[in-house]
Amino acid sequence: MGDLITMDDLTNKEILQILKEANTLLPVARGETYLPLLQGKVLGNLFFENSTRTRMSFETAMKRLGGEVINLSSIGSSVAKGETLYDTMQMVDGYTDIAVIRHPNQGAAQYSADAVSIPILNAGDGAGNHPTQTMLDLFTIHEAHGSLEGLNVMMVGDLRYGRTTHSLSHALVRFGAELTLVSPESLKMPAEIVSDLKNHGAEVTETEEMASSIGSADVIYMTRIQKERFPDEDEYNKVAGVYKLDASDISEAKAEMIVMHPLPRVNELHASVDSTKHARYFQQAFNGVPTRMALLCRGLGIKVPKKVK
Amino acid sequence: MRRVTAICNGTAIDHIPSGHALQVLKMLRFDVGRSNPISMVMNVPSGKMGRKDVLKIEDRELNQEELDRLALIAPKASVAIIRNYSVAEKRTIELGSELINIVKCSFSNCITQNDREPLPHKLKIVSSEPMEIRCSYCGKNQDIDEIVDYII
């Protein structure tokens, strides 16, 4: 019931409610006040793939709310000895109250949710979905624009393997977004996702060219071309560095346009953007804490108070 | 013109899309290791379909689970159970909302590719016309023309 595997697990009303709760929890996320809503609860942080922000922000979120965290990584655990995901999850089911999972295989989060009784939060399954990232992305967009309705959003880079864009595009079209998907031909958004987006009545433009859409964008969502997802290095080298955004590229952008990036960045987002009023990616990374606090409370069925002192 | 003689007991499957009879046999797992006599005609004229295939499997009454497998490639086929040269029952093929342990996901990076993982293979029917099937775990669309290669 408290699972979050894809954005389809949340209605628009629930999304807005979680964003509201995340906003209420901001002083707790910043450490300005202590609110032990999750005291006595244990989170299993299961990272079968590398992570910096997702893992740390979940851990911070749990601890700021008074909960405990136990960690598992594939290196040095039974996973390295060939244990099935099913068996690993049976153990986690016994040790924790809720689990966050990141796994290189697509479908691993749904599989885990089917295998156990505790709530499962998908923190990235291969090139599949990353809905908790989407929730913090939506929080960041809402914070900047005051609404999620009818925005013009550009997504740039690796849209084929980029799970953050898969989940985010699904969510945004439900709020009437117009999407411009900018990628090389070999890294286009998967056909079944584009088909879903269009079935929602969304206006979706697919292009290889970035510059001409910048002027009309409310959000530019840059992504890294993910070397680790390519089957061979030659294919990666063909497209690496194809998109680079620097401060001069956005000099004519709308005043309220924001630049986002799920991070880490390599060379697709130049440091010159950092000092512009458009840069929002470090704020976005912080927003993982209040948003994941709200998602942990949802998963565990704990009510977030309307006000926090 | 009758191209195949009547069978005494068994199952007759009519109105299979032209050229798909071999796939139907594979889907029913009748392509290897069976001793039942099977008659097959392919690409014969049909009033309803233009051309069609027909299969007659002797001494075997297909059950509903087997017939529902057919829905993936021959959803409009008509099935008759034959007893003593007469049609004893007509059965319909139904495509449910999910296929459990009938077909494997074809996506190489799906979690279900690990044969040691014990949970059932699950594919959901997104749409029947045109046929669109997705893995319930990884969400990948399956190629209908190749689905017969992934039957369990």
- CATH number for the A7-130+287-300 domain, one of 1.10.357.10, 3.40.50.1370, 3.40.50.720, 3.30.9.10? 3.40.50.1370
**Phi, psi for residue A168 in degrees, rounded to 5:** -65, -40
- For chain A, the average pLDDT equals 94
Residue of B nearest to A128 (CA): B138
- CATH number for the A131-285 domain, one of 3.30.1300.10, 3.40.50.11240, 3.40.190.10, 3.40.50.1370? 3.40.50.1370
Return the higher-pLDDT residue of B69 and A144. A144
Exposed / middle / buried, residue A130 (Cβ in 10 Å: 0-12, 13-18, 19+): buried
pLDDT of residue A17: 98
SS3 B27: helix
Query: In this complex, which of B109, B119, B140 lies closest to A111 when CB atoms are compared?
Result: B119
Residue of B nearest to A5 (CA): B137
For helices A131-145 and A288-300, angle between their N-to-C axes, nearest 10 degrees: 120
Q: Give the pLDDT band (50/70/90) at residue A76.
A: low
Interface test with B, best of A110, A130, A193, A226 (most B CBs within 10 A): A110
pLDDT per position as a tens digit, B8-39: 999 999 999 999 999 889 888 887 788 889 99
Residues of chain A with Cβ-Cβ distance to B136 below 8 Å are 110
Residues of chain A with Cβ-Cβ distance to B134 below 8 Å are 192
- What mean pLDDT do residues A18-31 have? 98
Alpha carbon of B121: minimum distance to chain A alpha carbons (Å):
10
pLDDT per position as a tens digit, A237-249: 888 888 999 999 9
Q: How far, in whole angstroms, is CA A9 from its chain's centroid?
A: 15
pLDDT of residue B1: 61
pLDDT per position as a tens digit, A153-165: 999 999 998 899 9
- What mean pLDDT do residues B70-90 have? 91
- What mean pLDDT do residues A10-33 have? 98
Residues of chain A with Cβ-Cβ distance to B127 below 8 Å are none
H or E, element range at A56: helix A53-64
Exposed / middle / buried, residue B106 (Cβ in 10 Å: 0-12, 13-18, 19+): middle
Whether residue A104 and residue B138 make contact (CB cut-off 8 A), yes or no, is no
Whether residue A111 and residue B112 make contact (CB cut-off 8 A), yes or no, is yes
Residues of chain B with Cβ-Cβ distance to A199 below 8 Å are none
Residues ≥6 apart with Cβ < 8 Å to A196 = A170
Return the higher-pLDDT residue of B94 and A180. A180
pLDDT per position as a tens digit, A256-268: 999 999 999 998 9
pLDDT of residue B2: 66
ipTM: 0.89
pLDDT of residue B34: 81
Residues ≥6 apart with Cβ < 8 Å to B93 = B67, B68, B70, B71, B74, B75, B76, B77, B79
Of the candidates A111, A122, A38, A46, the residue with the CA atom closest to the CA atom of residue A78: A46
Q: What percentage of chain A exceeds 90 in pLDDT?
A: 83
pLDDT per position as a tens digit, A195-249: 889 988 889 999 999 999 999 999 999 999 888 777 788 888 888 888 999 999 9
- What mean pLDDT do residues B57-71 have? 87
pLDDT of residue B108: 94
Query: In this complex, which of B110, B116, B141 lies closest to A106 when CB atoms are compared?
Result: B110
pLDDT of residue B29: 83
Residue of A nearest to B112 (CA): A107
Cβ atoms A165, A221 nearer than 8 A? yes
Residues in chain B whose Cβ is within 8 Å of chain A: 105, 107, 109-114, 116-119, 134-141
Interface test with A, best of B137, B140, B141, B144 (most A CBs within 10 A): B137
Whether residue A84 and residue B117 make contact (CB cut-off 8 A), yes or no, is yes
Give me the domains of chain B, ranges plus CATH numbers.
10-91 (3.30.70.140), 98-150 (2.30.30.20)
DSSP code of B141? B
Distance (Å, rounded) from C-alpha A179 to C-alpha A77? 42
Q: What is the pTM of this model?
A: 0.88
Q: Where in chain A is the domain with CATH 3.40.50.1370?
A: 7-130+287-300, 131-285
Whether residue B109 and residue A105 make contact (CB cut-off 8 A), yes or no, is yes
Distance (Å, rounded) from C-alpha B105 to C-alpha B95? 18
Q: What percentage of chain A exceeds 70 in pLDDT?
A: 98
